[in-house]
Structure 1
């Protein structure tokens, strides 16, 4: 699954990134048929960048400043900032069976391996979940399914209250926001379970 929002503005480039881009174009022009070895090319770029004078670097600084202006302007108009605030009264999406398993075993892993990184904890949890039999996973999956059913009812109640003016909230239809949040969270959970 692709990550991120395709409508999000392209990130701003640094002066060094503009330099590398320019250096690469020069390299391709001089050697159109020679494939670029990325490691060697990166090393050459770095060495050349260090030898540039302040005056030579200033043109790349100007390019980066102009790109920052573009980026800031585009980010101002970008959607998520205009999406509206999430209604604090909206029902909270329940965790998946995998996340319930993680919340139970995360403290145990941390206590047996003090100082372990967050990434290592997540990796261990993923491995543990993968090694469970379907029968061992079932209690977590069943509990998650029950919570999901309750959540669906809560969302339906919430939407009906919103339609009839029962709660105050953001300008955007709350039902749409709950559905968007659900889709985003489901994608994130699928990615976590696949790791």
Structure 2
């Protein structure tokens, strides 16, 4: 995107704006923005707004649509095959709706400009000079004009107003940190597994920008098997400098050579660790 109308910090916030949810203004994806060849921040917001609120069709088009729908319902429609849920998808047992992935409900940290932008946007919505007539003759909010105005205001914001925005930003960060901590505590083992499965799928399908996996907390990590407990014991009691691959190969050979009695302590420990793990996972559900 070109930045002929605004300063670089303004355009640095576009990626953040595209990910902000439930803030009152619909924002289209950056890929959709590129397809529309928007040349300014105002165009970006305007196209985003129009993508969710398209102009209404004429009464003639509505009538035609109803007739087409009526004719279609008369014809016998073969039942579409039931779509199988992906491994990372879960549904609400009552509504049957898909449950959002953890990253879809992760709190969002907004930069100062976004806080100022959303505050001013709500104020400008009430001003008549930011109303325009659409194709149907209805008065609608001119989001493009409002975005241009807010961008210009941000560049010339006086120090006193910036100090006020800084205070709002500090309050937002404080609340964000609390929300983030609550989000992290709410994650279950299944949440982490299905989010990371989805991220793995994105990488496999060639998506270039994929978020990092959610790290698995220590209390959720699967316990070691009897063999790995043995290998851990073996490495702790040796001074070897072998590479991991060579050491693992040697440990495997030694494990196979052990008698059942020699393996028993490691197998008992593995069973005890697994039982404790299963109990812990039940508590975390």
TM-score (norm 2): 0.28
Structure showing the higher helix proportion among its residues: 1
Q: Which has the higher contact order (CA 8 A, sep 6+)?
A: 1
TM-score (norm 1): 0.38
